Structure 1
Amino acid sequence: MLSFNGYNIAPIQLKDAWSICNFIVANEDRLKRYFPKTLEQNLTPDLSKFFVDKKVKQFHSKEEFLFTIKENESGELVGLVYIKELDWDKKQGEFAYCIGYPFKGQGVITKAISCLSDFAFSDLGLKTLQIIVHKDNIASVKVAEDCNFTWIKTLKNEFAPPGEALLNMELYELYKEIET
């Protein structure tokens, strides 16, 4: 578990199903465009139990890592961060993240990505981390830039939100510093 500024980051746990369902439903409008699969898998408590069970198994098998961000004092779930699209041969992974309405713009995700980047490099042995974001998602672009990710290129027709045409997405990367 990692801590910063009154928040903690922890691996997904079976006991998180109810709070994830509540978080997803409360933030449905924020999540429907860029997190449609997470949204559809957490619309009821039963669906969330299946989702969390699967994510705990994926975490333990190192297929994908899902972390919760919670407020220390209240224990409230305020955000989620994935390390996904893992390529162990290339030692590469991609971040995806979301924050609840009341916590947006407070730097919580920026700090979480900074902490989890260190974790991914030191504990997971990754060498390249990616963030793929739409250019109009200014807050997410700012997270990438504030965490020292470098813009690499535009990925043409990379992502199709539900009911929309394919979107170009921006690829940002961060590399583990080579020790000399």
Structure 2
Amino acid sequence: MIETERLLLKPYSLDFAEEFYTKFQNDKTYLGDYFSRTLSVTKTLQETKLYFQKKIESFKSEEGLYFGIFLKESDELIGHISVTEIDWSVPKGELAYFIFNDFSGNKYSYEALEAFRDFCMNEKEMLRIFMKIAPDNIASKKVAEFCNFEFEGLLKNDYRKRQEVLTDMLLYSFTKTD
């Protein structure tokens, strides 16, 4: 578990799969553009539990690090943060996060990203983590830059919004310097 002033970042557990399912389904329009793959495998509570079980196994094997973001004071699930596509030979991985719409605008993403970035760099000894951000996602660009991720370039035709519309992505990274 990772603790900040207002948040707890907890590894995925079946204990909060139902809460995730309910909130994710309620926010599917809000999250659908950039988490369409997750949406496609969490259409029912049973699918969501299976999705969680796969992420828990991936965490155990260190193929991916998946955390729920919770409010410290109420233990309410407010989002997700993860590193996937981990290459331990570097080591590096791709970071993604979201905050459920009801909780956006409170700078929780800044707090979660800084803590998770530090966890990846210090506890997991990664040398590089990167994020792909849609050019129209101004809020995520601001969060990345505030958390000292550097813009590296434009990835042409890199992602399909809602698994349909081909779009470019911006590449941001944070690297550990000696």
| Normalised-by-shorter TM-score class | over 0.9
1:15 paired to 2:15: yes
- SS of match in other structure, 2:42: coil
For residue 163 of structure 1, report the CA deviation from its aligned partner.
5.7
Indicate the residue corresponding to 1:57 in structure 2: 57
For residue 74 of structure 1, report the CA deviation from its aligned partner.
2.3
1:85-96 alignment runs, 5 A limit: 85-96=85-96
Indicate the residue corresponding to 1:157 in structure 2: 157
Distance 2:52 2:170 in 1: 29
1:1-180 alignment runs, 5 A limit: 1-162=1-162, 164-178=164-178
Task: Note the residue ranges of structure 1 that are not aligned, 5 or more in a row.
Answer: none
Percent identity of equivalent pairs: 32
For residue 124 of structure 1, report the CA deviation from its aligned partner.
1.1
- SS of match in other structure, 1:18: helix
- SS of match in other structure, 1:118: helix
For residue 7 of structure 1, report the CA deviation from its aligned partner.
1.7
Q: Runs of 4 or more off by more than 4 Å in structure 1?
A: none
Deviations 1:26-63 (A, max 9, x none): 21111111001111222221111101111100000011
Root-mean-square deviation over aligned CA pairs: 1.2
Task: Note the residue ranges of structure 2 that are not aligned, 5 or more in a row.
Answer: none
- SS of match in other structure, 1:38: helix
Q: CA contact under 8 A between 2:132 and 2:170: conserved in structure 1?
A: yes
- SS of match in other structure, 1:105: coil
Q: CA contact under 8 A between 1:68 and 1:80: conserved in structure 2?
A: yes
Distance 1:4 1:23 in 2: 22
Q: CA contact under 8 A between 1:158 and 1:169: conserved in structure 2?
A: yes
For residue 79 of structure 1, report the CA deviation from its aligned partner.
0.4
Distance 1:22 1:5 in 2: 26
For residue 154 of structure 1, report the CA deviation from its aligned partner.
0.3
